[in-house]
Amino acid sequence: MSLISKDLSVSHMTPISNIFSKDHSVRFFDDHILLQEIFDYFTTNPADVVIILHETKTIGIITLKDMVHSLKNCDNLTRPAREIMRSPVKTFSHTMSIADVLDTMSHADYDKIVAINEKQVVIGVMDRRHLLSLCYTQLTPLIKHEHNIIHSLLGLAGENERGLLKLATTDSLTGIGNRRLFEEIFYAHQSLGKRYDVTLFLLMFDIDNFKSINDTFGHVVGDTVLKELTALVIQSIRKSDIFIRWGGEEFTILLQYPDPMSVMKIAEHIRQTIDKHSFTTIVHVTCSFGMTAIYPFESLEQVIERADRALYRAKIEGKNTVRMEIH
């Protein structure tokens, strides 16, 4: 098993590469190697998994459990490794966050995290339970904090009051959160970011020429476009991203990612999805996007002003595009 970084400090958005030390101990064997050699390795090392290669390409893994099961059914160590390896191997990019890895694995039938770098080289292996155990003590404060956010919003009120609060923080047309909810969550996440070094980004976008859509086709068609666009965006983002109707045809998304280019890729994906979609009413709709980073101690007004400038640039530079303003 890979050595774990000694100076580990994680949040749910930490890239999985951060959990492995640079001096890892992943062992690789060619697929033609006899099981005897792998068995000898397991008996003399604390590892519980090895990577199987074919012409330098990762094609499978063998765990200590696999080896024991194989010996139980057939006491023959002269067979090649490829006969008992598990394949294909599900690998994870070293840039993926811990939250995304765990979310992916919650729907999978494997429990080994095989992390690879940009050159497709394995940098570490860990099982899901070990990752959860490793992160538990550091992620618990985050979970508790967000749990407290929810309770502060709900106010531990009765059913009727919670219903009223939901109405007050939900956009009645699209069903997503409204500006009031966004403001509450923004400041809660700002506080979280100061304590746990979480990187936040704000993505603001609106529908190009939306006024002419309403003027030409009527508000019923305009409302249909807003609801259909909302559904498209929801399918393009994570459940952890905060998607809000800011007002009219303008929307915002609060995201946690390790770097701005990741957010730009998300924005571009959303832009293309909307651009290529055939809407049920007027067929073609486009959106312009402005993105900015969020810094500790900033007010929402400062962040919105910067995102607005980026969005304005997208408008005057041709619309249906994404622009970024970090400072």
- Residue 191, pLDDT score: 66
Contact 72, 28 (CB under 8 A): no
- Residue 3, pLDDT score: 46
- Residue 194, pLDDT score: 52
Backbone angles phi, psi at 276, to 5 degrees: -90, -10
**pLDDT at position 198 over 70:** no
For 37-53, the pLDDT digits (tens) are 988 888 888 777 888 88
- Residue 107, pLDDT score: 67
Quote the CA–CA distance of 174 and 123 in Å, as a whole number. Answer: 43
Please give the average per-residue pLDDT across 265-275, as a whole number: 95
Give percent above pLDDT 70 in the chain.
77
For 128-182, the pLDDT digits (tens) are 777 766 665 555 544 444 545 555 554 544 444 444 445 567 888 998 888 888 8
Assess if CATH 3.10.580.10 describes domain 16-134. Answer: yes
Residues 6+ apart with CB under 8 A from 216: none
* 3-state SS assignment for residue 285: coil
Which amino acid is it at 251? F
The domain locations on the chain are 16-134, 169-324
Name the active-site residue from 249, 268, 317, 325. 249
Contact 204, 186 (CB under 8 A): no
- Residue 6, pLDDT score: 47
Lowest mean pLDDT among 76-85, 109-118, 218-227: 109-118
- Residue 159, pLDDT score: 45
Quote the CA–CA distance of 204 and 289 in Å, as a whole number. Answer: 6
- Residue 220, pLDDT score: 92
**pLDDT at position 67 over 50:** yes
pLDDT band with cut points at 50, 70 and 90 for residue 221: very high
For 169-324, CATH number out of 3.40.50.2000, 3.40.190.10, 3.30.70.270, 1.10.8.10 equals 3.30.70.270
Q: Is 249 a catalytic residue?
A: yes
Q: How high is the mean pLDDT of the chain? A: 79
Which amino acid is it at 102? L
Contact 99, 13 (CB under 8 A): yes
Burial letters 170-182, b for 16+ CB under 10 A, else e:
bbeebebbbbebb
Please give the average per-residue pLDDT across 43-68, as a whole number: 82
- Residue 73, pLDDT score: 74
Please give the average per-residue pLDDT across 245-265, as a whole number: 90
From the list 67, 65, 64, the residue with the least C-alpha distance to 35 is 67
Residues 6+ apart with CB under 8 A from 193: 199, 200, 294, 296
Beta bridge partners of 322: 289
- Residue 79, pLDDT score: 87
For 4-44, the pLDDT digits (tens) are 454 455 566 678 777 776 655 678 889 998 988 988 888 88
- Residue 305, pLDDT score: 94
Burial letters 214-237, b for 16+ CB under 10 A, else e:
beeeeeebbebbbebbbebbeebb
pTM attached to this predicted model:
0.54
For 91-135, the pLDDT digits (tens) are 888 888 777 777 777 766 666 777 888 877 777 777 777 776 666
Other Cβ atoms within 10 Å of 21 Cβ, number: 16
Give percent above pLDDT 90 in the chain.
28
For 256-269, the pLDDT digits (tens) are 888 889 899 999 99
